[in-house]
Structure 1
Amino acid sequence: MIKKLKASDNEMVMDFLKDEAALNLFIIGDIEAFGYDSDFQELWGFFGEDHDLSAILLRFHNSFIPYAKTGTVPVKEFSEIIKSFPDKIFLSGKSDLVEKFETIPGIELGKKQVTYFAECNTDEFIGQTKCEIKKANTEDLDRIIELRAGIEEFHPNPNARKILMQSMETGTGRTYYLEQDGQMVASASTAAENSMSAMIVGVCTHIDYRRKGLATAVMQKLFKDVMNEGKLLCLFYDNPEAGRIYKRLGFVDIGKWTMYR
């Protein structure tokens, strides 16, 4: 049985999600920030024959994340919900779950990207930078979008500016950056920040300024500030070179995550 979740279900929902809190960072963070009644966010729960919650589907704008503990997810039921939205769909989640949606008629998924999911709970290996790293505000949004647009590996979300604005205004995300020659040349952001953790996203360097350690310098400042607030860091990566950098900073792999963009 599918049920639209509401605020009165929150204790049950959080209890269900907490066993894999790192993997559920986006869902937990979005619930803490935006609750159950926003026009851009909805949650549905699937209840089995025993009437216990066994799976959750989150919609955040046009992005969907399904989650289930056991590796089984109600694909048919969740697919009907996803297909009811006319915009281009962005789907992501634990690889063994979301890949079950690939063959569903009527769901047009974008380019598939399988990444490693890693977490860091120590600042022992992060180090410090002497570079002048700045924290972005809403006046810097267009420059952040412009920098990311020049990164071949990135797949911009049409709602990217709105989402960045929203994260800054609500405190669910922040962006740090470094300038050289009067332009933004490297940046890194958090997303889905919640009371326990933060996801590192949007780590990038302008193509003309690479291999100078600039992105690492930005990350060092960002990581230190977030961890000083007692939060765990999480991130995705699929580039082996990036993976080596993250592991030198203290990250360890805990699973795989698939995104369709």
Structure 2
Amino acid sequence: MRKIDGSEWRNLLPFLYKNREFSMFIIGDIENTSPDSDNMEIYLDGDFDSPRGILLRYYKFLILSDGAGMNFREAAGVVRRYEQAMMLSGTISGIDRISPYLQEIREEEETLRFAVLREPNLNAAGFEVRRATTEDAEKLLAFLFLIEEFHATDEESFMATLKDGSTRRYIIEDQGEILATAASTSESSDMAMIIGVATGKDFRGRGLASAVVSKLCEDLLAEGRTPCLLYDNPEAGRIYNRLGFREIGKLKTLRFKKR
């Protein structure tokens, strides 16, 4: 596995677009990140036309795209050498095959359902939803910290991606208090991943999550981008299904111990 130069990243796009939905994290990061960025690295196993495997690091998060004949031992070595790594995501088969080489640093494993907005049934009416700015950053971080279902957020990437717009965050608030939020990231020319959907504990069951996700999706669709998302909560799944999301598969994540 070799680290490729930023000037070569886009050479992977024709291959990645063959399976664009499951490759959207890597596609979005390549399309939105400067080739000279210190925050992203890509390692390639094989050649550009038909890679055996791809491993991408974006800030403290890693993404695995596995193919036939990939050297998972070498890929795991790259992961272990990056001591700040928080999470690795990929296909179930890929994560299952790399996981034995990461036993000493892995903390927990999670399987997530992957859904795409196929039959939009969106409704943000009755709620004022706005796009968050950098002035909302500290308040948003504090809000997300209180959401029990959420894992720790990397503050550096949170602030940087909110500032440069590569992650757009929408909020519903009342008298300055955030009630609900949703975000999109890994935006490519035609797709975007919905992340960070959260409603304050005292404000659930009022349609706030549906409203903030609907507004975000409406804006993405108007720009020609198809929204996707990951979830494991059955109740969240029912909400997303009502909005028109349809499951197309599953992905898996590994979270790592602090080192």
Normalised to the residue count of structure 1, the TM-score between the two structures is 0.90
Equivalent residues in 2 for 1:22-41 (5 A)? 22-41=21-40
Q: What is the aligned partner in structure 1 of residue 94 from structure 2?
A: 97
Q: What is the aligned partner in structure 1 of residue 213 from structure 2?
A: 219
Tell me the C-alpha RMSD between the 2 structures.
2.0
Amino acid at match of 1:141: A
Q: What is the aligned partner in structure 2 of residue 192 from structure 1?
A: 186
Per-residue deviation, 1:127 = 2.6
Q: What is the aligned partner in structure 1 of residue 61 from structure 2?
A: 63
Distance in 2, matches of 1:138 and 1:42, equals 26
Contact 1:118 1:255 in 2 (8 A): yes
Count of residue correspondences: 255
Q: What is the aligned partner in structure 2 of residue 108 from structure 1?
A: 105
Equivalent residues in 2 for 1:1-261 (5 A)? 2-47=1-46, 52-70=50-68, 73-104=70-101, 107-123=104-120, 125-157=121-153, 159=154, 161-261=155-255
Distance in 2, matches of 1:90 and 1:187, equals 22
Per-residue deviation, 1:132 = 1.0
Per-residue deviation, 1:26 = 1.2
| CA deviation string 1:173-221 (max 9, x = no partner) | 2111111253101011111112111110010011011111111111111
Q: 1:128 to 1:105 in 2, by over 3 A?
A: closer
Equivalent pairs: percent with the same residue?
33
Distance in 2, matches of 1:104 and 1:69, equals 17
Contact 2:92 2:250 in 1 (8 A): yes
Distance in 2, matches of 1:144 and 1:6, equals 35
Per-residue deviation, 1:248 = 1.0
Distance in 1, matches of 2:236 and 2:189, equals 27
Per-residue deviation, 1:106 = 6.3
Distance in 1, matches of 2:49 and 2:42, equals 17
Amino acid at match of 1:119: V
Distance in 1, matches of 2:9 and 2:84, equals 28
Per-residue deviation, 1:31 = 0.8
Amino acid at match of 2:22: L
Contact 1:89 1:108 in 2 (8 A): no
Unaligned stretches of 5+ in structure 1? none
Q: 1:107 to 1:51 in 2, by over 3 A?
A: farther
Distance in 2, matches of 1:51 and 1:178, equals 44
Deviant stretches of 4+, over 6 Å: none
Unaligned stretches of 5+ in structure 2? none
Amino acid at match of 2:209: A
